[in-house]
Amino acid sequence: MQKQEAQKRIVQLRQKIREANQAYFNENREIIPESVRDQLKQELIQLETQFPDLVTPDSPTQRVGAPLSNKLPKVTHRSRRYSLSDVFDPDELREFDERVKRFLKHDTIEYSCELKIDGINITLWYEDGRLVRALTRGDGITGEDVTHTIRTCENLPLNLPEKVNLEVSGECFIAKKDFEKIQNQDRSSNEKTGFEGESKFANPRNLAAGSVRQLDPKIAAQRKLRIFLYESYQKNQDSNSTLSEFESKKIQNQKELFALFDKLGLPHEKEFEVFSDIEQVISFCQKWSVKPRREKLWYEIDGIVVKVHDFGLRRRLGYTAKTAKYAIAWKFPAEEKYTKLLDIHFQVGRTGAITPVGILEPVEISGSTVSRATLHNKSEIERKGVMIGDQVIVRKAGEIIPEILEPLSDLRTGDEKKIIFPAQCPECGTKLDFEEIVVRCDNPECPARHRESLYYFANILKIDGLGPKTIDALLELELIKTPADLWKLKPLDLATLPGFKNKKIMNLISSLEKRKKLRLDEIFLGLGIRFVGGENAKLLADYFRSHFGECSFSRLNTFFVQLKIEDLLSIDGIGPQVAESFVEFVHREATQKLLQEFESVGLEILWEEKSAENQIFSGQKFVITGSFDRFSRDELKKIIGDHGGKILSAVSGNVDILLTGENPGSKLRKAEELDIDIWNEQKIREKLGMQNEEKTTLF
C-alpha cells in the first residue's frame, strides 16, 4: 500500500475504532462485535508500524506510552482533594441532613444521589481541551502521576470537542466481565502481561488500583481500565484549573455538570437522581443496598454518594481538613455468606481472655477467603445457640474482622455437637475464671499470655522486622523470655532465624539500639497491664513524673513497692478498677525483676518535660467525641495532654470542654444540657496557632 492510500485508510480506521469504543465503553452496547473491533485495531497498528511518520498522539494505538524507568513521580494537586465521611444506617443520614439544614438555615435541601464506583480516585487536567495530566488522590495534596496508564482508558477522550481548561475527578475501575476474564487468564505464560506469578486478584478495585500504578502502560492497556467522572473543581483565582468563564457561569448544580460532561464527551455514571427530601434519599440508598439489584450492574459499587445538589450551597458548607461537609457516603452492609462450622478453638489473649474462634469451611467474603471467625465469648455462644457442625452465617464486621452471626438451625442434620467451654486454660491447664462475661486464665505465667504480651510489646516499639513471626522464632529458639531480652540479642542470634540475612539483622539491631529510651507511658502500655490503655498510661506516667521527678528503673521499683490503690485514686480519670489492676501488676515479683532487667540492658526512661509556656490547656478537662479529619482521636488526646489538659471518658459536671467531630452522638446533647463549652477541631487549631489550609471551591 502506497503512503497516500495508507494515510486515508488510517483516518478511516481511527474514526471507526473511536465510534466503536464510544458505544462499547460509554453506552454499554456493541455497534460491531468485539472481535471485529480488535481486528480493526490490529490493522491500524500494522499500518502505523509501516508508516511511522503517520502516527499522531491522539491515535487509539497511542494510548499506550513508553514504560517509566523509575517509580511514579509525585505531583501537587492544583486544588485539594477530600474524602467522604461514611454512614451505615438511616439515622446517620438524617443527622447529616439536620447538620446541613442547621448550618444553611434552610428548611428544604435538594440532594443528588450517585452510585459510588468501587475503584481508584483519579484527577484529570485538561488544557485547551487536551488531556495533559492524570493523578491519583494520594494524600489529598500530592498525588502520583499516572497519566501514562490513564491514557489507556478507552472510554476517556484524550481531546475534548472544545478548548477548555478543566480539572475533573472520578473513579477508575474495571468492568465485572473484564475482571472475570483476567481472573481466568493463564498466569504461567511467558508473555509480557503483568500476570506472571500472580495469584488471582481479590476484587476488581484492587486490580484497577494495581493496573493504574503499573510502570508499563501496555500492561494497564491489557486490563481494560475505564473511568467515570463526577466532579469538577476550580481553585480560587486560578483560571487555569477550571472551565472557561462562559461555561462556569452556567454550572449551578450536579445535574448541569453532568450535562456539560455529556456535551464534552466525558464519561459519567448514569444512575443519578435528585431528591428534595432525606427520606427519599434513604429509600434510594436502601433500594441499592439489596445485593441482587447491584449484581445486575456491569461494574462494582460499594455505596451511594449523597451530595447537596446546589453548588452555591456546597461552597457555603465547605470542608473539614479531610472531608467535604456537603457530601456523605452511604456504605452497604457488610457481605454475609453461610458456611459450615467445623470446630471451635479457644484462643488465649495477653490479658488471659479466652476467645472462642470458629474454624470454618473456607468461604469467599468481600474478596478474601475466610476460614476463621470469632464468637466473642461464652455468653455469645449461648445466646446464639451455635453448635459445631452448624451452617452459620458469617460476615466481615466493618469489612475486616470475620464474625459468626447465627446458625441456620433449620438446616441441622442431627450430627451437630454442643460447644463445651473448657474448664481449664487450653495452654497451661489453669482453672479458668468464669466470674466475668469474658472467661479468663489468671495465670500470669501462661505461655500463651506470655507470647501475646511479647507481640504487644513489640508492636508498641514499632520496629520493622519485629513482628509475630520473628517473636515466635525467637521464643522457639529460647533466645528471649522477657521484653528486656530483645536488647540482649546479638547478630549471631538473629542469624539463626529464618529469612534473616545480614542487612535485616543489622537493621533490627540498629532499630533496637535507637529505642533504648522509652517514655514511661509507652512502658506501661507495652507491659499490657489490664485496663491500662493509652490514655490511662499517660495519666499514670504524669502522676509518677510529678510526684517523683526523673528517676531510674531501680528508683521507680522502690516507689512501686510502696504504692497503694488509694494513691492512684487521687488521679483525676483513674478509677478503682484501673488502680487495683495497676497496683497488683507492679507489686508482682516478675514486674520488679523485669524493670531491673530493663536497666541492666541499658534502657532509660524518657521523661518529657512540659514547658510552662506551652500549657495552654492547663487544668482544663476534656471529653472527646465523634470522628475528626485532620487528627486521629489518639493524636488529639496527645496534643491536649502535652499542653496541660486532661482527658475524661464521660460527660459530667466535672468536664470543662467537649471536643466534637462528625457524628458526636449523645455526648453532645448531654454537654448542651450541662452548658459545657463545645469546641470543634478548628477551635483546637486556633488555640494552637495553626494556620488554616487553603480551601478550594467547587462550582
Q: Catalytic residue positions?
A: 116
The C-alpha cell 471518658 sits at 649
Identity of the residue numbered 277: D
Q: How buried is residue 129: exposed, middle or buried, by Cβ count under 10 Å (0-12/13-18/19+)?
A: middle
Q: Which residues contact 170 (CB under 8 A, 6 or more apart)?
A: 117, 121, 122, 124, 227, 228, 229, 230, 231, 267, 268
Under 8 Å between Cβ of 446 and 376? no
- CA 41, CA 63: separation in Å to the nearest integer? 12
**CA trace torsion 367, 372, 378, 383 (10° rounding):** 40
The C-alpha cell 481449664 sits at 424
Biggest distance spanned by C-alpha atoms of the chain: 100
Compute CA distances 176 → 36, 116, 128, 210, 560, whole Å. Answer: 21, 15, 34, 16, 62
- CA 213, CA 205: separation in Å to the nearest integer? 13
The C-alpha cell 466532579 sits at 231
Beta partners for 374?
A: 357, 403
Under 8 Å between Cβ of 610 and 644? yes
Under 8 Å between Cβ of 75 and 164? no
Under 8 Å between Cβ of 216 and 58? no
- CA 98, CA 105: separation in Å to the nearest integer? 10
- Side-chain half-sphere exposure of 653, counting CA atoms within 13 A: 0
- CA 445, CA 3: separation in Å to the nearest integer? 85
DSSP 324: B
Q: End-to-end CA distance of the chain, in Å?
A: 52
- CA 271, CA 282: separation in Å to the nearest integer? 16
Identity of the residue numbered 182: I
**Residue 698 neighbours by CB distance under 10 Å:** 24
Under 8 Å between Cβ of 172 and 212? yes
140 Rama class: left (phi>0) / alpha (psi -120 to 50) / beta: left
Compute CA distances 418 → 162, 344, 359, 414, 440, whole Å. Answer: 71, 11, 15, 11, 21
Q: How would you write 325-388 as a 3-class SS string?
A: CCEEEEECCCCEEEEEEEEEEEEECCCCEEEEEEEEEEEEECCEEEEEEECCCHHHHHHHCCEE
Closest by alpha carbon to 353, among 494, 449, 215? 449
- CA 104, CA 94: separation in Å to the nearest integer? 15
The C-alpha cell 454550572 sits at 251
Handedness of CA 500, 506, 509, 514 (dihedral sign): negative
308 Rama class: left (phi>0) / alpha (psi -120 to 50) / beta: beta
DSSP 405: E
